[in-house]
Amino acid sequence: MPRCHVGIDYPELSPYYLRDDYVREDLRENQTGTTLYLDIGVIDITTCTPAQDIFVEIWACSAQGVYSAFGTGPTMGGNPTALPTGSSGTIVPPSQTMSGPFPSGSGFPPGGFPGGGNSKANGDNFLRGGLPADTNGMVELMTIYPGFYTGRTVHIHTMIHQNISYHNNGTIISASGNLRHIGQVFFDEALNDEVLAQAAYQGTGQSRTYNAQDGILEQANSGGYSAFAEVERLGDSLDEGLL
């Protein structure tokens, strides 16, 4: 049987995950920082062919180390957040955290994860959302190169859904369909250094954690897997963006 799994599952949700997020390509809203075009491909590991009916969802902190709806915390690597039981079809704005056990048949572990999410500080939703993948299992999302916060190196959270349903207001129904992957994407430290030297990333009040100090990165990059994104410059300056 062919094997082609290139990304390790990290089976915990960030305590800063929001359910029922927006379906959109450009996640930046009013956030400053280096534009990042993030291309993600999803394959069926049993056939090594593009997975079908896939929705790719991502979320990350701002250049200042802030997650939308939560503000800045002293250490943002806390307990994972569990997903809700089922979905009644009621429209829930993407400012609600997941809570409760995982829905039956969703692909989530029975009973959910221990712990819970942090309290929301506002209704912001920047740097969150996703898109359905095309027939080649590919999706391109426009975000910014994330900043950092105390206890974590630079990273982007990823979640892969299959056969997901949608609300009429342009958001996904997070508890529908099947969850196929939870992971995080990391970046080369030299590139981190260069991007974080820009003005938008300065004065955060956070203590920087480097790649070599991040235990989640160490786990995600083990066993022959690579947790690092391959990044190309779109011009001579970071102002032109990264791909």
**pTM, rounded to two decimals:** 0.80
Q: What is the Cα–Cα distance from 137 to 42, expressed in whole angstroms?
A: 5
Rounded-to-integer distance, Cα 215 and Cα 11, Å:
14
Q: How far apart are CA 189 and CA 98, in angstroms?
A: 32
pLDDT, residue 82, reads 31
Q: At a CB cut-off of 8 Å and minimum separation 6, what does 206 contact?
A: 65, 72, 147, 148, 149, 150
pLDDT tens track for 88-114? 222 233 433 333 333 333 333 333 322
Cα–Cα distance measured from residue 127 to residue 29, given in angstroms and rounded to the nearest whole number: 7
Residue whose token pair is 């291309």? 39
pLDDT of the residue at 104: 32
Q: What is the pLDDT of residues 216-239, one digit of tens each?
A: 999 888 888 889 999 999 999 999
pLDDT at 224: 81
State the DSSP H helix or E strand holding residue 89, giving kind and residue range, or none if neither.
Answer: none
3-class DSSP assignment, residue 239: helix
Q: What is the pLDDT along the chain (243 residues), one digit of tens a residue?
A: 344 444 555 545 567 889 999 999 999 999 999 999 999 999 998 899 999 999 999 999 999 999 999 876 444 443 333 333 232 222 233 433 333 333 333 333 333 322 235 667 888 999 999 999 999 999 999 999 999 999 999 999 999 999 999 999 889 998 899 999 899 999 999 999 999 999 999 999 999 999 999 999 998 888 888 899 999 999 999 999 999
DSSP state of 76: -
**Cα atoms in the Cβ-side hemisphere of radius 13 Å centred on 136:** 6
